[in-house]
Structure 1
Amino acid sequence: MDTNWNSYGPACVDRPDTAVKFLITMTKVLHVLATAFAAPTIAGMAIAAPALADPPLLNGTYSSADGDPYNVWTFVTKCGAAGCTGTVTSNQGWQVPTTLSGGRWIFTVSKPGGLTCDDGHYEPAVVSMAVDPTTLAGILSSDSNYGCAGGVVTQSPFQLQKIS
Structure 2
Amino acid sequence: MSQLFNRTAFRLAYFVLAHAETGKTGVDSNISEADIFTSRYQAMEALDIHHSWATALHGRKAIASSVWFVQEAVLGYGAPPSPGKHYLSTQTENGRQPVAGRFSTITSALHWMPFAVHAIRREFDTDPSIDIISDAVLHDRIDVSYIWFRPMSSRQVYPMDLA
Which TM-score applies when normalising by structure 2?
Answer: 0.23
Larger relative contact order (CA 8 Å, sep ≥ 6): 2
Q: Which has the higher strand share?
A: 1
Larger Rg: 1
Which TM-score applies when normalising by structure 1?
Answer: 0.23
